[in-house]
Amino acid sequence: MSARQLENYAFDKWVKGDGALAEIPSAITNDIVATTSSGGLDFKAMAGHARNVGGPALRKMTFPERAGMVKALGLAIMERKEELYALNNHTGATRRDGWIDIEGGAGTFLSIASKSKRELPNDTIILDGALEQISRTGTFMAQHVYTSMRGVAVHINAFNFPVWGMMEKLAPTLIAGLPAIVKPATATSYLAEAAFRIMIETGLLPKGAVQLVVGSTGDLLDHLGGQDVVSFTGSAQTAAKLKSHPTIIRESVRFVAEQDSLNASMLGPDATEDSPEFELFVKEVANEMTVKAGQKCTAIRRALVPAAMLDAAQKALSARLAKTTVGDPALDDVRMGAVVSQSQRADVRDKVATLSAEAKVVFGDPEAAEILGDNAQGGAFLSPVLLRCDDPWSAKAVHEVEAFGPVSTLMPYKNFEDAIDLCNRGGGSLVMSLFTHDPQIAREVVRNTGAYHGRIAIINRDSAKESTGHGSPLPVLVHGGPGRAGGGEEMGGVRGVKHYMQRTAVQGSPEILAGVTGVWQNGAPVEADAPHPFRYSFNELEIGKTIETAPREISLQDIEHFAEFTGDTFYAHMDEDAAAANPFFPGRVAHGYLILSFAAGLFVDPAPGPVLANYGLDELRFLKPVSPGDSIKVRLTAKSKKKRNDEYGEVRWDVNVTNQDDEVAATYELLTMNAITG
C-alpha cells in the first residue's frame, strides 16, 4: 500500500485537507501507508450543514425507512469486505481480528436495523411506557414520547476498531434521525475512511446525513449546542478533557463516553483444577490477552483466582500463552499481530514498568519478542505479558493503570467477599466475567458487583459452546459502564437509538394525545358507523374505527360445557361452595378463556376480507368475574397500525369487555395482520 492522502467528506463532497500532513505508519512494517489532514475545513459550516440539511432529510423518514437504509449500508459493507480486509493487516490485526471489526461492524448495522424495524413504530415518534392518567375522570392525560433531536452527533472513535467502532455509533444515530460527523482515530483512519467511502457510494444516505473528518476536529466543539451529542470512545484522560470543554459545559451538550477500563475476570470459588470452569477461565484470559493484541476496551486486565489455585492458574496460563505465535498477520501460522504503532508499544512498555513495581512478570518479555515474517521485523510487536500480583490488597497500580496491549495481571483472593471487593476495585468497568457452575454464586456476584460493571458474562460448562465470550460487545446488549468506564451506554438494540433522541412528557386530552402519537387512547373519539372494521384494508382503516357489539348472556350450561370440552374443571368454575370460599369469586364463575372466546364470537366478521390472521394478544387482564346469568358485550377499536411489508401490516386493536352493568370484565390488545389493499 503506497502512502495516499486520505480525504475528508464535508458538504457531501470528498475534500483533501490543507497544510501539514500527519503520517500514518503500518503497524507491521512501520512504513508510511497514508497521510491525513483536516486543514481548511470550516467546522462551523459543517455542523450547520448537518443540522440544516441532513437533519430535516432524516426526520422526513420513518423509523422503518431509516432502518431499511441502515440495513442496506451494512449489506454494502459485507459485499465489499475484502477491500477492507486488504487494509486490515496494516492495523496490526489478523484476519480473525479483522472479522470482529469489519464483519462485526456490518453485523451491528444489520442487527440494530432489524430490531428497530421490528420494534419501532411506522412513525417518527416513539411512545415510552403506558398512558398516565392525571385527572380523576380521564379528560387530562400524559404520554412520554421520544422525538428526534435537532442537532448533530459528533462521533469520536478509537483506533482499535476503525469499522465496528464507527458503525456501532452510526446505526442508532441514523435510525434516531440525527446526522453525524465522524472523527476516526488517526492511527487507523485509512480503514475507517475506506468503509465510510463504501457507504457513501451506495447513494442511500441523504445529503448532510454523514460527514467525515480525517484529522483534527479543530474548533468543531466550539460550535455545538444543547441539541447536539458527542459520543466518545477512548481513554479516560481524553474523555475528561473533552467533557471539560467550555462549550460542552456551558451548552449542556449531551456527552456519551465509553472509556477503556480495568475489566476483571473471576474464577468462582466452586472451581477446582479439574473442573471445566478452570480450563474455560484460562482459555478466556489468554484469548482476551491476544485478540487484537490485547487492544480491546473490554480485554481482561485483572484475572482473579482463589489463593490456593494461584500457582496452578499461572502455570496453565503460561502454557497456553506459550503457544501464541507473534508476527506478520498475513502469515497463516501467526496467532497474534502487532499493537497499532511504535508509540503505542512504547506506552504499553511504560505501563508494564509501572505495574512491575507491584507485580512480577511471570510470562513474556515486554522488551523482546520472537517475530515471524521477514517484512515484520520493524513492526510494533510485543510478546504477551502475564504479571502476577501476590498482594492485590495493598497494591494500587494494578487496579488503576491499564497497559492497552497483550497484558494481564493474575491475582489471588482469600474468600468470596474478598473476590467481590477486588473485582470492584477497578472503579467501574465495561465488563466482568465469572466462571462458575453454581447459580447462587452467580446471583451473589451479580447482586454485589452489578453496580460497578456494564455487562457481566457468566460462563460455564453448560454455556461455553455457544458463549460469545468475555470481551464481545453485542448490538442487542448495552455497551458501557459506570465510573472509570465513562458512565455511558451504547447499542443495546433500540435502547441505543433513544440515546440520540429527547424524551418529553406530553399532556392533553385523549383526543389530543391520539392525534400526537397516532395511537388511539381510551376516551378519544371513535367512529362506529358501518361497515364492520374488518372490512377495511390496512391502508383504508383509520385509527379509532370501532364496533360495539350486542350483549350475550353466559349461562351455567355454557360454563359446564366449556369445562367438559376443554378439560378445564378448576373448582372456581365447577364447585359452588369452594368458589364462594375464594375471596376473588362470588361463587361459580365463567372461565377467562370462555369470555375471550365469546368476545371473539361477538366482534368477529366471518367473511373473507382484508383481515388475514389473528396472531396474538397482549396485555390481557381479567378484571371482574362473570357469573352465570351475567351478560358480556365488546367494544373493539383500531388502536394503532404498523406496516410490515408491501403485502400486509399489523393492526393493534383495543378490546374492552364489559358486563350488563357496564363494568369492565376484561381488557386486552388483539393483533391482526391485514392486507395492505383490497
Taking the CB of residue 434, how many other CB atoms lie within 10 A of it?
26
Out of 103, 168, 193, 258, the active site residue is 258
- Strand pairing class (180-183; 210-212): parallel
Burial environment of residue 160 by CB neighbours within 10 A (0 to 12, 13 to 18, 19 or more): buried
Contact 121, 640 (CB under 8 A): yes
- How does DSSP assign 331-350, residue by residue? STT--B---S-HHHHHHHHH
438 pLDDT band (50/70/90 cuts)? Answer: very high
Angle at 440 between CA 434 and CA 441, to 5 degrees: 35
Q: CA-to-CA distance for 222 and 330, rounded, in angstroms?
A: 43
C-alpha distances out from residue 174 to 23, 66, 73, 181, 214, Å: 31, 7, 11, 11, 20
What is the grid cell recorded at 209?
446525513
Assigned C-alpha cell, 548: 360495539
Residues 6 or more apart whose Cβ sits within 8 Å of residue 24: 32, 33, 34, 35, 36, 186, 187, 188, 189, 190
| Cα–Cα distance measured from residue 619 to residue 622, given in angstroms and rounded to the nearest whole number | 10
Q: What is the DSSP letter of 628?
A: T
Average pLDDT over residues 564-586: 92
- Tell me what pLDDT residue 24 has: 94
CATH topology of 4-123+149-259 equal to that of 526-675? no
- The closest alpha carbon to 614, from 670, 668, 667, 656, belongs to 670
Q: Dig out the grid coordinates for 322 from the structure.
A: 506459550
Q: What was the pLDDT predicted at 545?
A: 93
Catalytic choice (297, 358, 402, 490): 297
Rounded mean pLDDT, 164-190: 96
Contact 474, 301 (CB under 8 A): no
Mean pLDDT of the chain: 93
Name the percent of the chain in helix, strand, coil, to the closest 5.
Answer: 35, 25, 40
HSE (side-chain half, CA atoms, 13 Å) at 74: 26
d(CA 35, CA 56): 34
Question: What secondary structure letter does DSSP report for 510?
Answer: H
Task: Look at residue 174 and tell me whether its pLDDT is greater than 80.
Answer: yes
Residue with cell 457531501: 12
Residue 386 is which amino acid? Answer: L
Amino acid letter, 529: D
Judged against a pLDDT cut of 70, whether residue 279 lies above it is answered with yes
Cβ count near 161 (within 10 Å) = 31
Pairwise CA distance, residues 210 & 485, whole Å: 27
CA angle centred on 665, ends 661 and 671, rounded to 5°: 130
HEC profile for 36-58? ECCECCCHHHHHHHHHHHHHHHH
Please state, in angstroms and rounded to a whole number, the distance separating the CA atoms of residues 358 and 402: 13
**CATH T-level fold of 4-123+149-259:** Aldehyde Dehydrogenase; Chain A, domain 1 (3.40.605)
Whether the Cβ atoms of residue 183 and residue 155 lie closer than 8 Å to each other: yes
Other beta carbons within 10 angstroms of residue 271's beta carbon come to: 25
pLDDT above 90 as % of the chain: 86
Residue 306 φ/ψ region, left for φ over 0, alpha for ψ in the -120 to 50 degree band, beta for the rest: beta
CA distances from 141 to 361, 362, 517, 521 (A): 64, 65, 13, 10
The DSSP call for residue 391 is -
Query: Is the pLDDT score of 9 beyond 90?
Result: yes
Angle at 429 between CA 381 and CA 190, to 5 degrees: 40
Q: Scanning the structure block, which residue is given the C-alpha cell 368477529?
A: 604
CATH architecture of the region 263-468: 3-Layer(aba) Sandwich (3.40)
| Cα separation, 144 vs 126, whole angstroms | 9
Q: Rounded distance, CA 156 to CA 212, Å?
A: 11
Point out which residues pair with 317 in neighbouring strands.
none
Residue 420 has pLDDT above 70, yes or no: yes
**Averaged pLDDT for residues 520-540:** 91
Say how many residues make up the chain.
678
Backbone region of residue 604 per phi and psi (left: phi > 0; alpha: psi in -120 to 50; beta: other values): beta
For 68-127, how does the pLDDT look when each residue is reduced to its tens digit (9 = 90+)?
999 999 999 999 999 999 999 999 999 999 989 999 999 999 999 999 999 999 999 999
pLDDT for position 609: 87
The residue extents of the domains of the chain are 4-123+149-259, 263-468, 526-675
d(CA 185, CA 5) in angstroms, rounded, equals 15
Banded model confidence at residue 1, pLDDT cuts 50, 70, 90: low
* Per-residue confidence (pLDDT) for residue 2, from 0 to 100: 65
Q: Could you tell me which residue, 20 or 315, shows the higher pLDDT?
A: 315
For residue 191, what are the CA distances in angstroms to 4, 346, 508?
12, 23, 50
Task: Confirm if 371 and 258 have CB atoms less than 8 A apart.
Answer: no
Q: What is the DSSP letter of 294?
A: G
Radius of gyration of the chain, Cα coordinates, nearest whole angstrom: 30
How many other CB atoms sit within 10 Å of the CB of residue 413?
A: 22
> What are the tens digits of pLDDT across the range 284-324?
999 999 999 999 999 999 999 999 999 999 999 999 999 99
Q: Quickly count: other Cβ atoms within 10 Å of residue 529's Cβ.
A: 8
Cα dist. 287→318, 394, 472 in Å? 12, 28, 12
Give pLDDT tens digits for 343-370.
999 999 999 999 999 999 999 999 988 9
The answer on pLDDT for 3 being more than 90 is no
Query: Is 424 in contact with 449 (CB distance < 8 Å)?
Result: yes
Q: Is the per-residue pLDDT at 678 higher than 80?
A: no
Pairwise CA distance, residues 672 & 280, whole Å: 47
Fold of 526-675: Thiol Ester Dehydrase; Chain A (3.10.129)
Range 319-348 average pLDDT:
93
pLDDT-derived band at 671 (thresholds 50, 70, 90) equals very high
Give tens-digit pLDDT for 203-219: 999 999 999 999 999 99
Q: Is 297 a catalytic residue?
A: yes
With 0.75 as the threshold, say if the pTM is over it: yes
Residue type, 556: L
Angle of helix 310-321 relative to helix 276-290, nearest 10 degrees? 50
What is d(CA 402, CA 261) in angstroms, rounded to the nearest whole number? 7
